[in-house]
Amino acid sequence: MNPVDVHGASILLVDDQQKNLDLLEKSLSKAGYSNIQQTNDPAKVIELHLSGRCDLILLDMDFLGTGGFALMKSLRKHIASPYLCVIVLTDNLNLKLRSLQAGAKDALGKPFEMVELLARIHNVLEARLSYRSLEEHIGKLEQQFNERTTELQESEARFRGFTDLVSDWYWEQDTTGSFTKVSGPVPEILGIAVDSTAESTNTLLGTGWNAQEQSILRGKITAREPFLDFEFSRNTPEGGQQTYLVSGQPMFDRTCNFLGYRGIGVEISAVKNN
């Protein structure tokens, strides 16, 4: 952490004794801290914290007593971050321990050495600013993820719209070869039974498929090869023939694991017969 970042942090001093507040502010300023606020009114702590987005609150617990715990609880409700950066000053050992249990990042007994207090302030602020930097980084990653997800959804919608224009159906298969998504009159054209409970199409019904063509196509799929305008046909029970062109592309995840196939198909029976 750059020392400039630490010394530019926002610090709020809370004490009922004005002389203590002035002494603390003078010592902090001499140590290089430049963004310091002070108050002897506990009722103003929330307002000052929200307006200045304090990185650290130095809280004298002796004049607050148990009211200091209510103040820390209230602070938690008014800040977006779960990180409550408070250092407690007290000559009461019980208050010191309870303050740490209530979420204070550090607690120092009184009287204290200013050198020790400054060292603890530096360490707590360093941790606080690192945490805030991590929060901001995570926020940016979440924003990028949401933007990328939106882009992918829009791209998928455009792809589906395009396939609807140029093909009779769109299809996806999983690693086992089972149909997981279909768009278009696939059941009517190919005689595929739709499993409504799984929302997938798994069973190819009907007979008359050209065994040689099926074998070639199955070999391409087994080899994870893309195929473009592969022609295959079937003889219908009525004595006619249906001919199709199908194009498929294997799908892989970021670690190159095979996910299945997706592609488009179109019936060209009328064209072939003419």
CATH (domain of 173): 3.30.450.20
Cβ proximity of 13 and 59 under 8 Å: no
pLDDT of residue 6: 87
H/E element holding 190?
Answer: helix 186-190
Same-domain check for residues 62 and 119: yes
pLDDT of residue 198: 42
Could you tell me the CA-to-CA distances from 157 to 5, 153, 161, 194 in Å, in that order? Answer: 46, 6, 6, 23
Same-domain check for residues 12 and 133: yes
pLDDT of residue 13: 95
Mean pLDDT by 10 residues, the chain (274 residues): 72 92 94 92 86 86 83 79 82 90 89 92 89 82 84 68 62 83 67 47 58 86 89 82 87 88 82 56
Same-domain check for residues 112 and 213: no
CATH (domain of 134): 3.40.50.2300
Cβ proximity of 40 and 15 under 8 Å: yes
257-269 pLDDT, tens digit each: 999 998 888 888 7
Domain that holds residue 225: 167-273
Same-domain check for residues 189 and 114: no
State the burial class of residue 204 (Cβ atoms within 10 Å of its Cβ: 0-12, 13-18, 19+).
Answer: middle
pLDDT of residue 270: 62
pLDDT of residue 158: 63
Same-domain check for residues 178 and 98: no
pLDDT of residue 82: 63
Same-domain check for residues 8 and 122: yes
pLDDT of residue 23: 94
Place of tokens 């007593």: 65
Bridge partners, 252 (sequence order): 258
